[in-house]
Structure 1
Amino acid sequence: MAMRHTRFNMNELAKRAAEAAGDAHTQCVQVEKFSDGMFNKSFLFTMQDGTQVVGKAPNPNAGLAHYTTASEVATMDFVRNRLGTPAPKVLAWSSKAKENPVGAEYIIMEKIAGVQLEEIWPKLDIKDRLEVVKAISGYQKSWMSTSFAQYGSLYYSSDIFENSEGCSLIGENESETREPRFAVGPSTGREFLDDGRMELNFDRGPRSSAEQYKTAIGLRELICVQEITKLPQSSISLYGPGTYYPSRSQKVAALNTYPRMLKFLLPTDTSISSSFLWHPDLHAENIFVTPERPWQVLGIIDWQSSELLPLFDHARQPYLLDHDGPPISGIDPPAFPQNYDQLDSAEQDKAQSLYLKMSLAALYRRYTYTTNERLYKAMEFRETTSFDMMLLAQNLLIDGEALYQSRVLDLEGEWSSLPGVQAYGNPPFPVQLSADEAASIEQDVSGSIKGMELMRDLRKLLGEAWPEKGVVPHDQYDQAKALLKQAKMETIGRMAHSEDERVAWSKSWPFDD
């Protein structure tokens, strides 16, 4: 809650909104607060003539002062006016909290028409859902019409550099042009900010190649592991006696293997390593559509924390296609459950719902394969061992070092088959681990799996009351607290075999009593 508390002058923000919405005589007559998000306070301002605009002020956890707001504004301008995406038009803004009468950073922007896709998505049949997905795919293709020579986040040149010459833009025909209004600067991505990273000083970019960018990620994690006051708690595992328990030395050991392998893990097809600007959180709440024709996208909001990344880092399916079932690969449709006739009616409904969701994800992949080959190649690369190793390494501050080291052991056996290794003439495996180190890693993996199973059991127990990212709805708060207290007692009773172990489990329990 403390990280989401921000103080500012609401009257001054309403005044800025009125000035942005009309002439000097316009007055704001009503302010409505939107539901709190994770990182911002947002409001709907209504003027005396009925005009409405949206205002937002970032919470302290949104990102680095000045940079987060400045990058979001420049990004919305670029995607709206250069990439043809219906991002909100910014009417007024300030990234300097101490230099404006509001007393906080803010953005005033137009109110997008239509409704959030989330409101109507559950009611749409698969045909209409596919049309929506095609529309989103069209915007993804437009984002790929322009790549950048650097990796980081986008800004107005005047906001980060003096006498900047701007940034280099690369068109679909590989022609390079200079854009003086915009510049690539430090990354504002969430992985550069969350879990205590925001408070530490390290190089956030920009970088000039995918290898430099990925190398910087390993250095970022190493610096944070070494300097952060307290290691963050994993969201996927419970730690205590009888499970794996993370330490700085184990994380450092894992991160020291990463740079030795990195250049061999990068894709040999450099076209999918190019730097592109992408929406960071493409879910149904951030997409506004015409209710009667939901494939007509009227606006895509929330460009905060957007990054210029290698295409293969962007190339996941839109979050609105995520489902609680097996991941989709290839372009073939999923198989219908063979035991469908043996299920009861409730289980049949559940199976059919999952099948339709998986079918839609498969249709998205097939449509991408047909209309956007480069993006599909990036999606395929994300299914490789090489990508998995890079993905695991970029969050080792939080968790995964045991599994990462285990994958390093396994990787030696398939090393010569990796395309990146073959491209460099099949050099020997660059990591040497002793038999004792290998045995210790396997023991750590066993404990880590046990800890993840405990967390899965806990999540299953709480069901809809599960505190996603530490947050629960107000009406489920008491229920969640009671269930967590019950789970704590049951877990300690099952896992602790002595008073010392009971104390240790109690201290490591990640939820408040």
Structure 2
Amino acid sequence: MWFKHPLLRLHSFISQPRSHWKRSTQLRFSVSRSMHKASEVNIGIESNEHPFYNYTSGRWIYNENLRLAERHLRFDANELCKIIAKSVGQHTDDIEVFTKLAEGGSYRVFEAIFSDQLKVIARLPYPCSLPRKYGTASEVATMDFLRLHGIPIPRVYDWSDSSSNSVGSEYIIMERVAGAELEESWYIMTVKERMAIMEKIVDIERILFNIDFPASGSLFFKESLGNNVDQVGIATPAEEPATLKFCIGPSTEYLWWYQNRNDLNIHSGPWKSSKDVLKAVGKRELAWLTKFGKHRYPREPLYREFYGGRMVDPLVQIRNLSDYLKVAPLIAPNDKALNKPCIRHPDLSPNNIFVSNSGEITGIIDWQHSAVLPIFLQAKIPKHFQNYGDEDSESFTPPKLPEDFESLSGAEKDMATELYRRRQVHYFYLGYTSHNNPSHFHAMGTHDLVMRNRLYDAAGRLWEGDNTSLKAELVQFSRLWSNTTSKSPKSPDQTPFPLEYSESEAEECLAIDEKQKAADANMQAIRDFIGINIEGWLPNNLYAEAVAKEEEIRKQMLDAAETENDRNNIESNWPFQDHEELD
């Protein structure tokens, strides 16, 4: 089959992962005070083609028209400027420049600069952003609540969680954070600077982990939910004005809203116990599959061989989810401390952390989809700071450059330096966490929590034709359970495991799971080589190069195909071409 070709094994290629937030350093579209025209482009503000309303910060090498349509947002720029000015006690005539500053994965960011040099940010979600109303309401409440606890977060001046307003869109108006994104200095810091910033990041997480929450879910202002929505009130700091009331309400995590999941007859939070959280994701996916599940090919073309090249049956995954719900009550650990609800930043990346010239953290942005969850489900090194898969990092070995560093070539030095940086960050994060945030470190060090986390994640994952991953986690957990109870006969975990797998059934499932993981690694290696993310996105200036790389890989694979049937498979299943989307 075409996907077995060695060209897919491109693990030697190294790429720098880039965030989907891209600052528009080369694209600044300013509007005059009268707001009638853009000063740097030859398109009027009244035109649907104006860059204010369209995504311009990157490209997609496939299904680009779909991605652009999802992000097209027509709004009233004049009204937005009026609201921005009013929110800071100024007049629209005082705005000297109104600029599209950046575009993220879910929103567009504008900056208004006033005549006194005050800078104000306006953030508008794309029409495809989920959830709509609750997403904005929860993010604003989260920002306000955490500011009261000392987290450096921009002050919100005004906001609307409805598009039925004079602007024609939901919006958040907030202060412009001082300093620059950590991303701008992240790769050129000295060791001491990197140590210092990592300690400050861990200290902020310590504050987050020490906040007491009465339930799991997402943060809201009580008045934004209404009395008919389940909520659990939160005691707030003494200095909070009496007019601000917070609560835990439904989860605003993306997967609770994707493909009409919010319309299912299921409970989306708040949850009083870990067991309720664990059962909820399984019930959600079971309800969705029962209502919408249809025979389909796996979304990942490389998986098709593992299912005999046939469409897969959703009933298999329904059985897997039913099995998960039998196991869910056993997943929560017995240690009360590990079940404490806590909040974390959903994407603690260098792009979302602002620092001053002196190295102080001045602000942390992008709190959308924040959720309060039991600490055992939250405990992990943020993906931008971890270096798993590296033996030195996983063994907590102090990082150092190779002894022969000076004799390496330029490219080899670059690779060694980047590995050294990644090891540093992993090492510093764990070291400071062990000292400054012991509750998080304790949770991360509990040996079986990784498997419990993986089982929870697999149960809550969107079904895209993969009937193996969840069952494989259930098989692995059954073995963990058996080993734990056999070694600790007096352990409180003496409940018999509710599922049984024959040795042949378990081994067959795990073998397919390993093949799928290998396919995932191969596909990621190709994406890294081309320079795209999992959606096919990349910066504008790299588009032509990426298309050339993608076409060269495709050509070589077609040339290497042994039969006409193999060539047809490559052509019809090529993952980097426009295709119908089932999900």
Tell me if TM exceeds 0.5: yes
Equivalent-residue separation in structure 2 for 1:136 and 1:376 (angstroms): 14
Q: Please state if 1:59 is matched with 2:126.
A: yes
1:113 aligns with 2:178: yes
Q: Does the CA-based 8 Å contact 1:145-1:171 persist in structure 2? A: no
CA 230–64 in structure 1, closer or farther in 2 if over 3 Å, else same:
farther
Aligned equivalent of 1:158: 223
Give the aligned length: 500
2:250 is the counterpart of 1:186: yes
1:274 paired residue number: 340
Partner of 1:78: 145
CA distance, structure 1, for counterparts of residue 426 and residue 81 of structure 2: 43
Note closer, same or farther for the CA distance 1:369–1:44 as it changes in structure 2 (3 Å cut): same
Tell me what 1:175 maps to. none
What is the CA–CA distance in structure 1 between the aligned matches of 2:547 and 2:445, rounded to whole Å? Answer: 42
Q: What's the TM-score, normalizing by structure 1?
A: 0.85
| 1:230-269 C-alpha deviation (Å, 9 max, x unpaired) | 7999887733446776542343233222122222222222
CA RMSD of aligned residues (A): 3.5
TM-superposed deviation, 1:97: 1.1
Counterpart of 1:143, as a letter, is L
Query: Structure 1 residue 3: deviation in Å?
Result: 1.9
Structure 2: distance between partners of 1:256 and 1:179: 45
- Of 382, 394, 409, the residue aligned with 1:318 is 382
In 2, Cα distance between equivalents of 1:443 and 1:2: 40
Q: Which position in structure 2 is the counterpart of 1:431?
A: 499
CA distance in 1, matches of 2:99, 2:547: 30
CA deviation profile, 1:396-455 (whole Å, cap 9, x unmatched): 524764244234334444423337997445233321235674465256336424533541
Aligned to 1:46: 113
Equivalent of residue 433 in structure 2, options 357, 363, 368: 368
Q: Counterparts of 1:482-497 in structure 2 under 5 Å? A: 482-488=548-554, 490-491=556-557
Alignment of 1:77-476 (within 5 A): 77-81=144-148, 83-98=149-164, 100-162=165-227, 167-169=232-234, 181-194=245-258, 196=259, 201=264, 202-228=266-292, 238-241=302-305, 247-291=313-357, 293-294=358-359, 296-323=360-387, 326=390, 328-329=393-394, 331-333=396-398, 344=409, 346-381=411-446, 384-395=450-461, 397-398=463-464, 401-418=467-484, 423-434=491-502, 437-438=505-506, 440-442=508-510, 444-445=512-513, 447-449=515-517, 451-462=519-530, 465-476=531-542
Deviation at 1:146, TM superposition (A): 1.8
Deviates more, 1:100-109 or 1:22-31: 22-31
SS in 2 for 1:321: coil
In 2, distance between residues paired with 1:10 and 1:70? 22
Q: Is the 8 A contact 1:240 1:505 kept in 2?
A: no
| Worse-superposed segment, 120-129 or 227-236 | 227-236
CA 1:377–1:324 in 2, change beyond 3 Å: closer, same or farther? closer
Where 2:128 maps in the other structure, the secondary structure is helix
Contact 1:94 1:106 in 2 (8 A): yes
Go from structure 1 to structure 2 and tell me whether the alpha carbon gap of 1:47 and 1:399 turns closer, same or farther (over 3 Å shift): farther
| CA separation of 1:200 and 1:444: change in aligned 2, threshold 3 A | farther
Following superposition, the deviation at residue 140 of structure 1 comes to: 0.9
Given that residues 234 and 247 in structure 2 are in contact (C-alpha distance below 8 angstroms), is that contact kept between their aligned partners in structure 1? no
* 421-430 or 248-257: bigger deviation: 421-430
**What's the CA shift for 1:152?**
1.0
Amino acid at match of 2:520: M
Identity of aligned residues (%): 28
What code does the residue aligned with 1:284 have?
Answer: P
Does the 8 Å contact 1:156/1:181 carry over to 2? yes
What is the CA distance between 1:286 and its match in structure 2?
0.8
Q: Which deviates the most, 319-328 or 47-56?
A: 319-328
Letter in 1 for 2:527: R
Q: Does 215-224 or 313-322 show the bigger shift?
A: 313-322
Instruction: Determine if contact 1:147/1:277 at 8 Å carries over to the other structure.
Output: no
Q: Residue 171 of structure 1: CA displacement? A: 9.6
**Secondary structure, aligned partner of 1:60:** coil
C-alpha distance after superposition, 1:200-227 (max 9, x if no partner): 5343222111110111111222233444
Give the Å deviation of 1:276.
Answer: 1.6
TM-score norm. by structure 2 comes to 0.76
Structure 2 vs 1, CA of residues 309 and 495 (structure 1 numbering), >3 Å: closer, same or farther?
A: farther
Matched, 1:29 2:91: no
Matched to 1:150, the amino acid is: A
Change (3 A) 1:134 1:399: farther
Bigger mean CA deviation after superposition, 486-495 or 3-12 = 486-495
Amino acid at match of 1:154: L
Give the aligned residue type for 1:77. Answer: D
Other structure's SS at 1:260 match: helix
